[in-house]
Structure 1
Amino acid sequence: MRINKYFPVAFIYFFINSLGLPFGLTYTALLSPLLYIWVVVTRRQEVLWPFLLALTPFVLIHISIGVDTKSYFISILNITMVYVFCQAVYTFLIKCEHPENIFKPLLIINFIFCLVAIPLFFTPYDNLLWMKQFLTTGVEDFRRLSLLTYEPSYYALLFTPLFFFFLLQLIFYRNTINGWLLLVMLVLPLTLSFSLGVISAIVVALAVTFIVYIKTFIVNKRVINLLGFVGIIVITAIGIAIVFFPDNILFVRIANVITGKDPSGKGRTFEAFWLAEQLLEKKSYWWGIGPGQIKVLGFELIRDFYGYGYETTRVAIPNAAAETLALFGWVGFIVRILTECFFFVYTRVWRNYYRLLLFIFIFVYQFTGSFITNIAEYVIWIMAFTPVFREFESGKRDTFSPLHNAV
């Protein structure tokens, strides 16, 4: 297996990007000056000034309406470093001829980590790869797989592009890993992370893509076999759970969501927008309160609303779309959505199965979680809008050539 020269940076991004660093700081951010130089030299194009120019109207208006200067410009610097990293990701995608030479090692190493994490779960050292979190009403200190990331949902978000990529390889008979083993390698990480938000968005993306291309997928035997296999497994698992484990964690979470008793689900969706509206009242509905101002203007509001203890030192709006609304107002929110729609049409996302899956997934997910400087989210947006991964172009004649191992 040939290792791509970009793999070391990909390894840092996927596995250890925040390891040992204060919350909010990443190694990719620290590397942003070098990444900026690499982007400019590689593409022979200035990429930073257009971004700063587009940001200038917001900065001028935010300063005029009043901000905490220190926190504001630290956040602006953080946003700028995230932007530089995004430019580096885009540059990599248009220059790298075989991204699978990065994806496959990441998948294998991730699977090895998962295998190590399972026995570690039953030891006093489980906190090395697992995280205890409040899950839902009645479920305290539930352990979920996070590996070396700071949060299980973030880990699941990181893994999603790999999931879609290798699932499509499996469907299109391009897998070089045994089909059954590959399925385990794809399903196990998401299951152990127990990130229902990510998993739900994945299911929505798969369902919409299947409907859009139903004439193509319905004649693919592997797709039908996978649907049948998944259906049998799900029905069997639900039946066993109902009979033998009626009070299992999944059922409790689903019941709480349905009855409105799930604070995590509500807090990441419509309640996040309510909080954003409360913050907009303090400054400007059109332009928002400005980056870095949530902890200044909304600390007590968010702490008390979510029931955090008085020892809490950091608060946030756990929803990327709602946070955009709070920081940049309705102008920023509308620009965000229109930009996504523009690039969807301009890059013809629907013509590529992989990019369509990524777009639908992250479009849905931005309303259920994430945050405005989440590089894992932006990587997915960039992959969705960059016209690469041509092996998954719709209508490609050799797409379904059965060249590799069957499931």
Structure 2
Amino acid sequence: MAGFLWVHIYLPFAAFYFFLNHAGVDNLGLPIGIFYTSLLSPLFYIWLYLEGRRWLTTNLLLILSPFILAHAAMGIENPVEYLRTLAHWWAVYVTVYAFCWALSKCRSLDRLFDQLILLNFCAAVLGVILRPTPLQALFWMNTQPIIGGPDVLRLNLLSTEPSAYAELMFPLIIFATLRLLHETKRRNGTYFMMIAFPFLLCQSFGGISIGLAAIGVSLMVGYRQLLSSRKSRIRFFCLAIATGALLLTPNPISQRVLQVAAGNDGSTQGRTILAYVSGYTVASSKSLWWGVGLGQSKYIDFSYLGFGLEGHIPNFIAGFLAEFGLISVAVVLVVECYLFYRTKVHLNSFRLAMFAVAFLQQFTGSYGTDIQIYLIWFLAFYPFLPEFDLNQGLRVEVSRP
């Protein structure tokens, strides 16, 4: 009982990120893309400076310097907006670095995940209770204007949208699933159900499909360890049957799947095909190799495409293509592949699943200043949760960020 009541020292920090990492929108007083956590970047910078990390700004400018010089040589449409967006990138960089630095010092990450799962489950239950009340808008979003079709209420708690909420839950749902397959204890099953409940209520087709793909990749690589016992195989087949039943019986999730398969889901199209066409159009208006520059997409008129994505491209890779060009896309993919082999991601089922999530997510959504996707990358590349190592004899040494 005492162990259950023990509160992880980083729980307030993690809860702040999980529940208040809200991207500002017009009705909340912040420009689109700026997270509330980013507003604290000056405080994070002071803390990191005191921790001895004193070259953050210099490092960021060195990384971006080739692109800044190229954009300056080609001419910048709105220099003020360029500097404003550069400041936004600095805030995101410092915030992500601060969270990664804190995570690198974290002990008992599994306990921290468990306590976040419990808090999130309680918040989701509260959201269900308040659904028929005037407070519904605090927890639920009607996505009918976005995806079309009938009214659809999807759980998003305090997140910007249901897909962002699903992205926040990726580490928790994958951790709970892999642990359940690894150790078939009743307690592990309880925590899996507690995180699966809100994950399904957010009805994020992209989130569910990416999560299943990531777990599938881990199972293919580490099936001998994850499915070594008879109980593990039984649990796996039960989960597979439950997933099939979810997709084949009438319910909001299966209806959404049919909507996506029929090509009638505006949200999925906007984050994939339409985003790439828009990103290519924006970049080619000035330089396909270097892009149009930081924050300059909003000054490129591509409304004639009729996609309704003017000023904001909801796709990580497409956004980089638009503002940094093909060179940045190549650099990002090369760095990801290098870190995959350098940190031996494939030797740990949890980290491998995190890599799969981030890799797929960058092609199907997110955006360049999304704090969440960078933390998922960090969970993939840093040696967390050694109990999920597929070869217990190997340990990966990775220096702190």
Q: TM-score, normalised by structure 2?
A: 0.88
Correspondence for 1:42 among 51, 55, 59: 51
Deviation at 1:140, TM superposition (A): 4.1
Q: Which amino acid aligns with 2:262?
A: T
Within 2, Cα distance between the matches of 1:104 and 1:91? Answer: 21
Residue in 1 aligned with 2:140? Answer: 130
Within 2, Cα distance between the matches of 1:252 and 1:167? Answer: 24
Residue in 2 aligned with 1:153? Answer: 163
Q: Pick closer, same or farther for the CA change 1:230–1:171 going to 2, 3 Å.
A: closer
Is residue 286 of structure 2 the alignment partner of residue 286 of structure 1? no
Aligned residue pairs, count: 383
Q: Which amino acid aligns with 2:299?
A: V
Deviation at 1:232, TM superposition (A): 3.0
Deviates more, 1:148-157 or 1:62-71: 62-71
Residue in 1 aligned with 2:307? Answer: 305
Correspondence for 1:110 among 113, 117, 120: 120
Q: Which amino acid aligns with 1:14?
A: F
1:114-263 correspondence to structure 2 within 5 Å:
114-134=124-144, 138-173=148-183, 178-237=187-246, 241=249, 245=250, 248-263=251-266
Residue in 2 aligned with 1:331? Answer: 327
Deviates more, 1:288-297 or 1:370-379: 288-297
Deviation at 1:396, TM superposition (A): 2.6
Within 2, Cα distance between the matches of 1:361 and 1:323? Answer: 18
Correspondence for 1:3 among 4, 7, 16: 7
Deviation at 1:380, TM superposition (A): 0.3
Which string of whole-angstrom CA distances, capped at 9 and with x for unpartnered residues, describes residues 157-200 of structure 1?
0011111222233233297x723422221211111100010111
Which string of whole-angstrom CA distances, capped at 9 and with x for unpartnered residues, describes residues 14-72 of structure 1?
10133855243323212212212322332455333122112112112112222211211
Structure with the larger RCO, 1 or 2 (CA within 8 Å, 6+ apart) = 1
Deviates more, 1:66-75 or 1:188-197: 66-75
Q: TM-score, normalised by structure 1?
A: 0.87
- Do the aligned residues in 2 keep the contact of 1:43 with 1:91 (CA within 8 Å)? no
Within 2, Cα distance between the matches of 1:153 and 1:125? Answer: 21
Residue in 2 aligned with 1:80? Answer: 90
Residue in 2 aligned with 1:405? Answer: none
Residue in 1 aligned with 2:100? Answer: 90
Q: Which amino acid aligns with 1:213?
A: G
Identity of aligned residues (%): 33
Q: Pick closer, same or farther for the CA change 1:207–1:101 going to 2, 3 Å.
A: closer
Secondary structure of 2:363's counterpart equals coil
Deviation at 1:238, TM superposition (A): 5.0
Correspondence for 1:348 among 344, 347, 356: 344
Deviation at 1:237, TM superposition (A): 4.4
Which string of whole-angstrom CA distances, capped at 9 and with x for unpartnered residues, describes residues 240-268 of structure 1?
x3xxx4xx544443334333333322221
- Do the aligned residues in 2 keep the contact of 1:288 with 1:327 (CA within 8 Å)? yes
Secondary structure of 1:366's counterpart equals helix
Correspondence for 1:360 among 347, 356, 359: 356
Within 2, Cα distance between the matches of 1:296 and 1:212? Answer: 46
Within 2, Cα distance between the matches of 1:182 and 1:234? Answer: 18
Residue in 1 aligned with 2:399? Answer: none
Correspondence for 1:385 among 363, 377, 381: 381
Q: Pick closer, same or farther for the CA change 1:377–1:63 going to 2, 3 Å.
A: same
Which string of whole-angstrom CA distances, capped at 9 and with x for unpartnered residues, describes residues 126-167 of structure 1?
111101113776524411101011111001100111112222
Q: Pick closer, same or farther for the CA change 1:21–1:107 going to 2, 3 Å.
A: farther
- Do the aligned residues in 2 keep the contact of 1:135 with 1:142 (CA within 8 Å)? no
Correspondence for 1:321 among 312, 317, 320: 317
- Do the aligned residues in 2 keep the contact of 1:205 with 1:358 (CA within 8 Å)? yes
Secondary structure of 1:100's counterpart equals helix
Deviation at 1:11, TM superposition (A): 1.5
Within 2, Cα distance between the matches of 1:63 and 1:360? Answer: 36
Secondary structure of 1:213's counterpart equals helix
Within 1, Cα distance between the matches of 2:245 and 2:109? Answer: 37
- Do the aligned residues in 1 keep the contact of 2:282 with 2:322 (CA within 8 Å)? yes
Cα RMSD for the two superposed structures: 2.3
Is residue 369 of structure 2 the alignment partner of residue 373 of structure 1? yes
Q: Pick closer, same or farther for the CA change 1:174–1:81 going to 2, 3 Å.
A: farther
Deviation at 1:7, TM superposition (A): 2.6
Within 1, Cα distance between the matches of 2:262 and 2:184? Answer: 43
Structure 2 portions without partners, runs of 5+: 394-401
Secondary structure of 1:131's counterpart equals strand
Within 2, Cα distance between the matches of 1:137 and 1:4? Answer: 39
Secondary structure of 2:364's counterpart equals coil
Q: Pick closer, same or farther for the CA change 1:386–1:40 going to 2, 3 Å.
A: farther
Q: Pick closer, same or farther for the CA change 1:183–1:73 going to 2, 3 Å.
A: same
Secondary structure of 1:31's counterpart equals helix
Within 1, Cα distance between the matches of 2:44 and 2:155? Answer: 30
Structure 1 portions without partners, runs of 5+: 309-313, 398-407
Q: Pick closer, same or farther for the CA change 1:50–1:236 going to 2, 3 Å.
A: closer
